[in-house]
Structures are given as C-alpha cells and as structure tokens.
Amino acid sequence: MENEELIQKYIQGTLDEVEQKQFDTLLKSNPEFANAVAEFKNVHAAISSHEKDQLKSHLQTFEATQEASEATEKPSRSYKRLAIAIVLLLFFGLLGNYIIQQANTNEILYATYFEPYPNALQPVTRGPSDGMLLTEATRAYEAKNYEEAIKTFDLIQAGLDNPDVEISFYKAMSLLNLGKEKEALDILREIKHQKTRFTPQIYWYGALIHVKFDENEKALKALNYLDEIQTTYKAKQRAILKAKLE
C-alpha cells in the first residue's frame, strides 16, 4: 500500500490491524512519513479551526433570526431546539465530508512524495582548490546542516568563472530542506535547460514545488517532460502523482 493511501485511511479511521501495524512502524522508522502525517494534522487542525469559526457564525445568525421572529410568531422551544439540532447535524455532516476530501490536498501530496536528495557530488571532478570546500559542503549537507552547506556552496561558486550546475542543484536541495521552496524553484528554473546528470531530479523536484504551490498545470508539464525523455527516475511515483493531478 502506498504511504499516501495509508495516511488517508489513518485519518479516516479505516485502518485494519495489519495496516495499523504498518502505519505505526513507518511512523517510528521513516522521518519522511512522519513529516507527512504531521503535515496533514496541521492542515486538519487549520480546517477544523476555520470550520468551527464558521459554525459559530452560522449559529449566531440563526439565534438572531429566531429572536427577531419570537416577537411575532413565538415558536415553541422544542421547535427551536430541533432546528438547531438539524443545523448542527447538517454542518458536521458536511464538515466530515470536507475533511475527508482534504486528505488529498496538494500540501499532503508534497509531504508524501518529497524526500531529501542524497549526496552524489564527486570532489575529484573539480580542481584541487575547490576540493576542500566541496568536502566541507557535502559533509554539512549529509549532516543536514543545510544553512552551512549553502554558505559553502556559495563560496565554491564565487571562485568559479561560470556557476557549476551540480553545485546549484545541491544549493536548491538545501533550500528545499529548509522549507524555502520559492528560492529553490528559482534556482531549478535557472539550471533546468543546462546539460547535467541531474536533469530528471531537477524536473521532479520542480514538479513537487509546483504541487505545493497549487500549480497543478505546471507540475504536470514537468512530469510529462520526464516521460518524454524516458527517464526511469521516480517512474512509479510520477505515474501516481500525475493521476492525482489530472
């Protein structure tokens, strides 16, 4: 079962015993999965808070209407209570459907499919003067010290005649891991047409950022390009994500 489906069933309370064990195991052992669950809970809480405010407003309006009509019609208390009960039942019925529908929001899709890209930089491919800095940068990146990695990547770029595409890519990845999607996307746009072994990754992460920004058409365009170049990178995930966006 895909992780996204597992999270949806967890939120809806429909996990069976086997699925619950799988969910608990992933929650403890898979940081990306745990982040996805936490992200959904945040969205769920925001939705619930918003809907509660709406409910309060609806009930206040209802009360005001009833008080205005009492002066002329004087409806019975039982009728008034029944009407309020109906409003509550209708509201929470709609709220339940709304929350279930929100299980597939773009925020959750992003959290489900995003994972930090591993270090694949090769210091030996560059000059000796850059070797030490690159080693420092990759160590910082692997240690998830992304701010330090960015600073060192910038130092490397400053010493080059032309910006290095791979360094730019890893700076973008560092920004993504810091939650700075807009800055990361700007870099990915700058380098996506340059020749590099990371072309599939550039378009994949670009697509994910567009998903998070609710830019589904742009995300689909990037995913379709990956199909066009016939890369196997994230092939299964791409197919599932495209189906959800189309």
| Per-residue b or e along 169-182, where b marks 16 or more CB atoms closer than 10 Å to that residue's CB | bbbbbbbbbeeebe
Q: Where are the domains of the chain?
A: 3-112, 114-245
pTM of the model: 0.59
- The per-residue pLDDT for range 130-160, each reduced to its tens digit, is 568 999 999 999 999 999 999 999 999 999 9
Mean pLDDT of the chain: 78
Helix runs in 102-180, H state only: 106-113, 128-142, 146-158, 165-177
Pick the CATH number of 114-245 from 1.25.40.10, 3.40.50.2020, 1.20.1260.10, 3.20.20.140: 1.25.40.10
| pLDDT over threshold 70, residue 97 | no
Model pLDDT, residue 106: 85
| pLDDT over threshold 60, residue 169 | yes
C-alpha pair distances (Å), 185 with each of 79, 98, 148, 165, 245: 57, 31, 20, 14, 19
Model pLDDT, residue 37: 78
Instruction: Return phi, psi of residue 178, to 5°.
Output: -95, 0
